[in-house]
Structure 1
Amino acid sequence: MFPQRRFLLSMLFLLPLAWSGALLASQDDASALVKRTSERMLSTLEARKTEIDRNPSLIYGMIENVVAPHFDFQRITQGAVGQYWRQASAQQQRALVDGFKQVLVRTYARSLLSYSGQEIRYLSVKPGSRPNMVVVPTEVREAGSTPIPVDYRMYDNGSGWKVYDVVINNASLVGNYRNSFANEVRQSGIDGLIAKLDEMNRDGRE
């Protein structure tokens, strides 16, 4: 066998192993990010519990600082709006992202305010549908109750891992909103959906 051919064949065997190791390390980074962010959020919540009890709105700033930077709200909104995203102008798209982000932050804030020491387990990372995507599975456990699976779908945009969907008890956050958003757009157009999001945020509803 020619040396060059032997070298090329050896590279063919080594490259998948090198890629596998890089991918595994990258997956571990995604899992570590989810765990680190969750633990930081909960420890901050505990440390400032007295302040938050007096003024619950403080939790929004905490979420903005600790959690929000790791979510791709534009991609989440685009997925939830679905086929109608392309019909929206750039200004409408910005309004949709801003409005939906507020809805999601408010929803997360309510779940945090009701947190009472449930255990969070971090399970083995699963590969996503593309090389730069993973699923980070977790379980929320409470004594006497069935564990609730919460999966974070994440992708690496070249500068770090971002969450683009959350699947709670096998229900996709993006998928659930897509149906209601589509109905709203069909009835009232893109501006109608923007107005609906504004209304939801004023009323403090999901």
Structure 2
Amino acid sequence: MKTLFKQTLTASILSTMIAGTAFAAPSETPPVFVKHVADGLIASLKANQAKLKANPSAAREIVRKNLDPYIDSQAFTRIVMGTYATNQYSTAAQRAQFEKNFRESLIENYGSAFAKFTNQTYTLRPYKDTGSKNPVVTLDFNNNGEKIPVSFQLVDKGNQWKVRNMNVSGIDLGLQFRNQFAANVKRNGGNIDKAIATFKPDADAATQKK
């Protein structure tokens, strides 16, 4: 049950990693920002729980409305592509296509995970400001007594907080997806266009890595 919930939670959050314009101001501290986003998402899930079970497209709309604006998808793309995000291996157009494909794949494959929401709650861990340019805020999602820690790494993008990477139960998702993409490049004989076109991020596999 814990593994299933962790995979569902991860898929749900990852399906939101799309570019947008964040509305949080830098005067909002990192934990306040993350709590604001989490509360908005949970409120929408609770309000639409019955609809989600019958209509996966409703989940995708919740994603776009509640979380899209707060994700730095360009940074996440660079993390996942790794060395292939440099001009030596890819063009700006290829990176843009990767970002688009990555977004759509997550929405299509994991949007239905929101339908599994059953009123889980979370607690916010005490936050200590270390002065890092990429502060980390951790939430413990509660599922029948089990705690699933999810850490959000943030970045200030033009006076706006955005999420640039995530860690679930000690697993760096950006790194796991990077390994998956690198393996896909190899399977396609180093052809970046083919690797981008066929890449399907596997959140379930990522969250089981240790």
Of stretches 104-113 and 32-41 in structure 1, the one that deviates more from structure 2 is 104-113
Q: Counterpart of 1:192?
A: 194
What does the per-residue CA deviation read over 1:143-198, in whole Å, with 9 as the maximum and x for residues that have no partner?
343x111100111122211101110000011010111111111232211222213x
Superposition map of 1:94-105 within 5 A: 94-105=96-107
Segments of structure 2 that go 5 or more residues without pairing to the other structure are: 1-25, 206-210
CA shift, 1:91, in A, is 1.3
Against the structure 1 CA distance between its residues 116 and 27, is the aligned structure 2 distance closer, same or farther, given a 3 Å change threshold? farther
Against the structure 1 CA distance between its residues 154 and 32, is the aligned structure 2 distance closer, same or farther, given a 3 Å change threshold? same
Segments of structure 1 that go 5 or more residues without pairing to the other structure are: 1-25
CA shift, 1:48, in A, is 2.1
Contact 1:125–1:134 (CA under 8 A) maintained in structure 2? no
Runs of at least 4 residues of structure 1 off by over 4 A?
none
Contact 2:46–2:119 (CA under 8 A) maintained in structure 1? no
What does the per-residue CA deviation read over 1:50-94, in whole Å, with 9 as the maximum and x for residues that have no partner?
333332211112111110110111110110110011111121111
Larger Rg: 1
Against the structure 1 CA distance between its residues 106 and 150, is the aligned structure 2 distance closer, same or farther, given a 3 Å change threshold? farther
Normalised by the size of structure 1, how large is the TM-score? 0.75
AA aligned opposite 1:67: L
Partner Cα distance (1:55, 1:174) in 2: 29
Q: Counterpart of 1:90?
A: 92
Partner Cα distance (1:176, 1:151) in 2: 15
Partner Cα distance (1:118, 1:148) in 2: 11
Normalised by the size of structure 2, how large is the TM-score? 0.74
CA shift, 1:111, in A, is 3.7
Partner Cα distance (2:128, 2:27) in 1: 8
Contact 2:152–2:165 (CA under 8 A) maintained in structure 1? yes
Q: Counterpart of 1:10?
A: none
- Alpha-carbon RMSD across the aligned residues, in angstroms, is 2.5
Against the structure 1 CA distance between its residues 49 and 115, is the aligned structure 2 distance closer, same or farther, given a 3 Å change threshold? closer
Contact 1:126–1:134 (CA under 8 A) maintained in structure 2? no
Contact 2:139–2:151 (CA under 8 A) maintained in structure 1? yes
Against the structure 1 CA distance between its residues 170 and 56, is the aligned structure 2 distance closer, same or farther, given a 3 Å change threshold? same
CA shift, 1:106, in A, is 4.5
Q: Counterpart of 2:41?
A: 41
Q: Counterpart of 1:54?
A: 54
Contact 1:37–1:67 (CA under 8 A) maintained in structure 2? yes
Partner Cα distance (1:126, 1:111) in 2: 32
Percent identical residues: 24
Partner Cα distance (1:108, 1:81) in 2: 20
